[in-house]
């Protein structure tokens, strides 16, 4: 008989989900996912959020537009970070989607 001990994330979130809200300054309506998976990464969330807000990364006006997430005021550069990790044991997570224009 194998006994599997639940992880700390599973104890804090028994269903493996959290309430996610992504805000984008130019939009009055946030992207909301009431049951986002704790193991979802920022890399898999980004295309969904960009689609929701009608945004695209790429060449624009002689430069490049890129978007990044911010959690608790810190820009998240690790796209493999999971929502569960960023939530730090809480049942809710709010991210901000930031637009960056890179001239080059």
Q: Which domains does the chain have, with CATH numbers?
A: 8-103 (3.10.20.90)
b/e sequence 56-87, b meaning 16+ C-beta within 10 Å: eeeeeeeeeeebbbebeeeebeeeebbbbbbb
Q: What is the pLDDT of residues 11-43, one digit of tens each?
A: 445 578 999 999 999 999 999 999 999 999 999
Judge whether residue 51 has pLDDT over 70: yes
What is the C-alpha separation between 16 and 11, in angstroms, rounded? 9
* pTM of this structure: 0.82
Number of Cβ within 10 Å of residue 94's Cβ equals: 16
């Amino acid at each position: 008989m194998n006994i599997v001990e639940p992880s700390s994330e599973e104890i804090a979130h028994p269903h493996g989900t959290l309430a996610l809200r992504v805000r984008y300054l130019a939009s009055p309506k946030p992207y909301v996912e009431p049951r986002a998976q704790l193991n979802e990464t920022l890399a898999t969330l980004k295309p969904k959020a960009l689609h929701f807000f009608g945004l695209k990364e790429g060449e624009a006006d002689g430069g490049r537009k890129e978007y990044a997430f911010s959690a608790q005021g810190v820009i998240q550069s690790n796209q493999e970070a999971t929502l569960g990790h960023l939530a730090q044991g809480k049942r809710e997570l709010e991210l901000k989607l930031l637009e960056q224009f890179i001239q080059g």
